[in-house]
Amino acid sequence: MSSTTEYLSLLHRPRRLRRTPSLRSLVRETQLTVNDLIYPVFVMEGENQQEEIPSMPGIYRYTLDLLLKEIADAANLGIKAIALFPLIATDKKDNAGTESYNPDGLVQRTIKAIKQEIPEVIVITDVALDPFSSYGHDGIVKDGEILNDETVEVLVKQAVSQAEAGADMVAPSDMMDGRIGAIRQGLDAAGYFDVGILAYSAKYASAYYGPFRDALESAPQFGDKQTYQMNPANSREAIKEVALDIAEGADIVMVKPALAYLDIICRIKEYTNLPVAAYNVSGEYAMVKAAAQKGWIDEKKVILETLTSMKRAGADLILTYFAKQVALMLQ
């Protein structure tokens, strides 16, 4: 540099702390770890089978025997929790979702097997009727409408049945009014005081769920879910939903989806002292995978940046289909 250069008189030079990798690490504000991750998994009937979900490359539906191996692999990578979702046979679906609380059902058998084979893994179960519904909706349908209170009665049975099977935490994803309080009362009445509730508190009526519905073959048979899931345009309403769930006994509150709702995660984190979860949903996963397959992005860097942004926004826990991939990256 020329000796005649006149240097700026700057008291503060933020680049000083970016000069080396060690300095950047020293002042890093957000640290993503394997302890932040919850791994969503899909189970189906049968033996020794796995089916890749076409819209979710690298993600499979597993029969129980192979699912146990998949969960064991995840646990060996340091992943401490899984979220369980079932593919239910069409002949077991009905409008009232009665299979959801069958003590010998797929979900109940899977919970028991996981807790027997890999007891240290936290099992989080989905509480909603859509996988069990002949209409593909989260509640009981009558004259084209989704019934609230009648659905909540079934959700309580479902949650108690999952707790009986050994679930560590139930996660109501249905968005019916009052279901958190009813489930908490139902669990306590049955003696399951220690079973927690991870509430899908701010769950939006999002277009990002498409691949997940492919995985469970649970797309609505009519209409959409806008009468019970939230309007993507609303922010203050999320605080109302979270406040209600906390008052009714939620242990953890969640925002779903995550990537397009970082502002909601941030607002909820500022509002509550409860742990805040974010669901990095199937559409978010699929977009990254599709762009990576085209060679348009650096997959690993984009995954880490995406999940770090969720934690930076305020998420304490992240449900993500990238869980195993990220656990490997972080080793």
- The active-site residue, picked from 93, 203, 269, 324, is 203
* Nearest one of 269, 270, 266, 276 to 309, comparing CA atoms: 266
119 prior amide bond cis, ω within 30: no
The tokens of 197 are what? 């509730």
Rounded Cα distance between 142 and 121, Å, is: 39
203 is catalytic: yes
Task: Note if 256 is an active site residue.
Answer: yes
Please tell me the distance from the alpha carbon of residue 20 to that of residue 81, in angstroms, as a whole number. Answer: 35
Q: Cβ atoms within 10 A of the Cβ of 92, count?
A: 17
Q: Is there a contact between 326 and 305 (Cβ–Cβ < 8 Å)?
A: no
SS3 243: helix
Query: What tokens were used for 188?
Result: 């306590």
**Is there a binding annotation on residue 241?**
yes
- Given 93, 256, 289, 324, the catalytic residue: 256
Amino acid (1-letter code) at residue 102: N
Q: Which sequence positions are flagged as catalytic?
A: 203, 256
Q: Which residues are part of a known binding site?
A: 241
Q: Which residues are part of a known binding site for Mg(2+)?
A: 241
